[in-house]
A = this chain, B = another copy of it.
Amino acid sequence: MNKNETKELLERVARGETSVEAALLALKDAPFRDIGFAKIDGHRALRCGAAEIVYGASKTKEQIAEIAAEMLGSGQKTVLITRMSPDAAEFVSSRLPLDYNEAARAGIAGERPAPDGRGKIVIATGGTSDIPVAEEAAVTAQALGNEVTRLYDVGVSGLHRLLAHTDEIMTASAIIAIAGMEGALASVVGGLADCPVIAVPTSVGYGASFGGVSALLSMLNSCASGVSVVNIDNGFGAAYCASMINHIGVI
């Protein structure tokens, strides 16, 4: 049960449409339910303003399906599943309604929520190789109720490609700047933008890119103010932050 759903419940109680007892029952679920191999944190949506997310990387397809089903069965309307292989997605979608994005290796089980944020989240990438991380961010942002604008392949070695999109950059609520190699995109975007920039280094590159470390260091040292950084390839985390920013004061 997320914050909106909780609010709706309380409003139904206020309007007399739901009895106090029924509301209590809905709320009284233990803060987490133990399903053996994982503890599902039902109150986290309430506490942190977003639905529980399933990190699929270290789970079997059966575990992913079981956890997602448990969540949907407990009243959660939207479940985001990240780091899920196409094979696992096929298995899950045979049991649950699932909207899977193969480039992102992520999917939405249940309903995709309508955008309810303050504005748009811009997702920019330095090159085409960064797109999988960008798509993970896009799917996440959408699952959390945000409208997304994609600006792909606008790296700094061809500035005119980026400058052609100054409008989108100047009007965003939050920007996710995704780049591998030297990661300079974050600084240039940060210099142009008037909103927080979440930088995502990617493991794209070779040799001295060290699996994304060079881009990570570059972004941490950005000479532009207003830039903060998440882990390498962590499109999900960047979108989560951006969604929080885009929903400030909403609801």
Nearest-neighbour CB distance to chain B for A147, whole angstroms, equals 15
A163 to B182, alpha carbons, bound, how many Å?
20
Copies held by the complex: 8
| Interface: A108 (CB within 8 A) | no
Given the interface pairs A195-B248, A203-B207, the reply to whether A53 lies near B156 with Cβ below 8 Å is no
Contact with A228, one of B32, B159, B205, B229 (Cβ below 8 angstroms): B229
Q: How many residues of A contact B (CB 8 A)?
A: 93
| Interface: A215 (CB within 8 A) | yes
A199-251 residues at the B interface, CB under 8 angstroms: 201, 203-234, 236-238, 240-241, 244-245, 248-249
Q: Are B245 and A196 in contact (CB under 8 A)?
A: yes
Contact with A206, one of B57, B126, B161, B226 (Cβ below 8 angstroms): B57
Contact with A32, one of B161, B205, B220 (Cβ below 8 angstroms): B161
Q: Are A221 and B248 in contact (CB under 8 A)?
A: no
| Interface: A157 (CB within 8 A) | yes
Q: Are A182 and B222 in contact (CB under 8 A)?
A: yes
| Interface: A194 (CB within 8 A) | yes
Q: Which residue on B lies nearest to A214, using beta carbons?
A: B217
| Interface: A173 (CB within 8 A) | yes
Q: Are B158 and A156 in contact (CB under 8 A)?
A: no
| Interface: A7 (CB within 8 A) | no
Q: Are A232 and B249 in contact (CB under 8 A)?
A: no
Q: Are B218 and A218 in contact (CB under 8 A)?
A: yes
Shortest 9 CB-CB contacts between residues of A and residues of B: A207-B232, A184-B184, A58-B129, A228-B228, A157-B191, A214-B217, A157-B224, A182-B218, A181-B221
